[in-house]
Structure formats: structure tokens, C-alpha cells
């Protein structure tokens, strides 16, 4: 890893000292593109600061022969980056929000959630099947996905297809699709394909009635040290209020269900006319058993003028001091209420069996 010493470094140059903000990221091309987009915005907001990007590999980047759901590690793509934050080697880290667990290690918080790109999943087809859809693929065609959530929902919807695990970054997965004959199609997050400039490879977008998305999918989260008020203030302006409230509700739902990547849990959120709608669902591994419900809450809450900072301003790992606390609490309560509704209807049994089956295979 490049860069030594404190993150609050300064550079002399020919003029006055300029503070250097060090930004941590994973090494993949997509991670770099995502981090560059955040840094570009920060540079435009803070022209008097200098930003240095420090890229590093994570456990999830190194273990490529095992399905994510089998590894049993909640911080696969974040631990090494958090270690650098803890040691003051970086000031902030840019993540795909869906990679961040709903409970962060002590001392860390998500200081910003940027405006969400498309949260939907996309289907990329092998060149010989371009123009097809999942529905029109030949019987027993093999579709690659690294996600239990996608496989469970799509097996239920498209029983004529076979779903198989595929690992690696976006470039690797597309190469496996194009150069090998194993897969007829693969499922990827639409946001990642858009950020890479590969929109032309998208053959089909999966809408919520076909496949609901992962918690936080399509949004970027900026993780910082929870006590570093200076950096919290710096990145807090990046919060997109609507994305923030949707993601608080989604993360609260997942956290209360005690879900993770080892069980199929999916969501869909909409903000409309001051109402936040959350649909959440759980599935058995093969999709044969499922349960989903929708609830809503009012999030048009006036900003509150509080006397002082909260003892613990975090909600599901997120700190947003410039967004109405009442609206944030309403979003969190919506997620918890929906999780309780599903748990009361028997969702725990579905998830427990899914977890046991996943562990056994």
C-alpha cells in the first residue's frame, strides 16, 4: 500500500501548505471508477484540498474459487480498508454500499450515501444469445450469478433455467461469459455496468416483480472514523436525502432479519409524495418457499432543531447530521416493522433452513 504516516498530511509545493485527504479503495477497475467519481465531486466542493487515492486488495478480491455465501465473513470487501482507516493511513473509504455490513465495527460509520444509480439487476447474454430474454433462453441454459438472492428469485420465476455460481470482478465475469461456453447469460448489477460504460452489454433489466434487489444496491457509501468530526463534516454534504432514507429502511430490514449474503433477502423501495414504501422478501434457496410484504411511512418530517448532538447519532451504521433526524428514525422504524411482520408470519423458519442448507453444501 502506498503512503505512510498520518492521513492529515500537508504538501508544501510552491504555495501555502495544502491539506491532503487520503481516500481508500479496492483495486478493481469498478471500485476505482466509483472512488474517482466521489473524489471528483469532493474536489469541486473543496478546491483548497488535495486528494490522494490509495488502492488495496481485500479478502473478497483474493478468494475467487468460493461462492461469497460460503465464506461466512461479513466484511469480505471492507476489512483491510477499515484497518487502514483505523491506523490513520486513510481518512475515508468509498464502498459499494451493499458490501457494507449493517453492523459496522466500533469506531467506524458511514458518513455519506451518494445518490443512487439504478438498483436493478441486469442480464448480460452470451454473444450467441443476444436478443433473447431469460424467458426465451433454451431449456436448461446455465445462468451465472454470485448471489443466492438472485438465484432463489429467478429459479422460481424461470424454472427451465439452471443457475450456477460465477465469481470474479466484472471484467473477469464478462470474459468467462464470452470466452467459455459454460454460461448462456450472467446476472450483474446494472449500476456497475453503467459505471464501467458497458450499457451496450445489457440485454435485459430485471424489474422488482422478476427480481428484487440487494439492500443498498446501486448506492455508494463513504466510510469514516466515527469520532472524526472534521471528515464527517467534509463528506456529509454528499448525502442524497432520498437515497439515504431508502437505504436506512433497507438496512434496518436486513439487520432486524439477521440476514446477510448467506440467505436470500431482497428489497424494493420508492419515495413518492412524502411516503417511503418498502417491499421486502425472503426466499428458500431454491425459491420454492417465499414471503414478501410492503409497508409505508411518512418521511416528510420537518428538520429538528436539537439542543446538542445525540450520544449515538448512528442508525444502521450511518451518520447523517444534516438530514432530518425524524425522517431517518421513521425510515429505520419502517425497516424494523416490516422485518417483524415477516418474522411473525414465519420468515425465520425460511431463513434458518436456507442458512443450514447453504452451510451444508
Integer Cα distance of 30 and 168 in angstroms: 12
Compute CA 282 distance to the chain's CA centroid, rounded to the nearest angstrom.
18
Dihedrals phi, psi of 318, to nearest 5 degrees: -110, 135
User: Would you give the DSSP letter of residue 23?
Assistant: E
Beta bridge partners of 223: 93, 110
Integer Cα distance of 324 and 333 in angstroms: 14
Tell me which residue of 149, 120, 116, 122 sits closest to 271, measured CA to CA.
Answer: 116
Q: Which residues contact 220 (CB under 8 A, 6 or more apart)?
A: 34, 37, 38, 94, 95, 96, 97, 113, 114
User: Would you give the DSSP letter of residue 99?
Assistant: G
Dihedrals phi, psi of 119, to nearest 5 degrees: -85, 0
Question: What count of Cα atoms within 13 Å lies in the side-chain half-sphere of residue 129?
Answer: 26
Query: Is 178 annotated in the active site?
Result: no
CB atoms within 10 A of CB 243: 22
What Cα–Cα distance (Å) separates residue 318 from each residue in 69, 254, 315, 332? 24, 14, 5, 11
Q: Helices then strands (H, E): number in the chain?
A: 11, 14
Q: Which of 61, 91, 99, 240 is catalytic?
A: 99
> 216 and 250 in contact (C-beta within 8 Å)?
yes
List active site positions.
99
Amino acid at each position: 500500500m502506498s503512503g505512510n504516516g498520518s492521513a492529515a498530511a500537508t504538501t508544501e509545493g510552491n504555495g501555502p501548505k495544502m491539506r491532503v485527504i487520503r481516500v481508500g479503495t479496492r483495486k478493481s477497475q469498478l471500485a476505482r471508477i466509483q472512488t474517482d467519481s466521489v473524489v471528483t465531486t469532493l474536489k469541486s466542493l473543496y478546491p483548497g484540498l488535495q486528494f490522494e487515492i490509495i488502492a488495496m486488495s481485500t479478502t473478497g478480491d483474493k478468494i475467487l474459487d468460493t461462492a461469497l455465501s460460503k465464506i461466512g465473513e461479513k466484511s469480505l470487501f471492507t476489512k483491510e480498508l477499515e484497518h487502514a482507516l483505523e491506523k490513520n493511513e486513510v481518512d475515508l473509504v468509498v464502498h459499494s454500499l451493499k458490501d457494507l455490513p449493517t453492523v459496522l465495527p466500533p469506531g467506524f460509520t458511514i458518513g455519506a450515501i451518494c445518490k443512487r444509480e439504478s438498483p436493478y439487476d441486469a442480464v448480460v447474454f452470451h454473444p450467441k444469445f443476444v436478443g433473447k430474454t431469460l424467458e426465451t433462453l433454451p431449456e436448461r441454459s446455465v445462468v451465472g450469478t454470485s448471489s443466492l438472492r438472485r438465484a432463489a428469485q429467478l429459479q422460481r420465476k424461470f424454472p427451465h433455467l439452471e443457475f450456477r455460481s460465477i465469481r470474479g470482478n466484472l471484467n473477469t465475469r464478462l470474459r468467462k461469459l464470452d470466452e467459455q461456453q459454460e454460461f448462456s447469460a450472467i446476472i450483474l448489477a446494472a449500476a456497475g455496468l453503467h459505471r464501467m460504460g458497458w450499457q451496450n452489454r445489457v440485454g435485459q433489466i430485471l424489474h422488482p416483480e422478476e427480481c428484487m434487489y440487494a439492500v443498498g444496491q446501486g448506492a455508494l457509501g463513504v466510510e469514516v472514523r466515527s469520532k472524526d468530526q472534521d471528515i464527517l463534516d467534509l463528506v456529509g454534504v454528499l448525502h442524497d436525502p432520498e437515497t439515504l432514507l431508502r437505504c436506512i429502511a433497507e438496512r434496518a430490514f436486513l439487520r432486524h432479519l439477521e440476514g446477510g449474503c448467506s440467505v436470500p433477502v431482497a428489497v424494493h423501495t420508492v419515495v413518492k409524495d412524502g411516503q417511503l414504501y418498502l417491499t421486502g422478501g425472503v426466499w428458500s434457496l431454491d425459491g420454492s418457499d417465499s414471503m414478501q410484504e410492503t409497508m409505508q411511512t411518512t418521511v416528510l418530517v420537518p428538520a429538528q432543531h436539537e439542543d446538542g448532538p445525540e450520544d449515538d447519532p448512528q442508525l444502521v451504521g450511518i451518520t447523517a447530521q444534516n438530514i432530518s433526524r425524524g425522517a431517518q428514525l421513521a425510515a429505520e422504524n419502517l425497516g424494523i416493522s416490516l422485518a417483524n411482520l415477516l418474522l411473525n408470519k414465519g420468515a425465520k423458519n425460511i431463513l434458518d433452513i436456507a442458512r443450514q442448507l447453504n452451510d451444508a453444501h
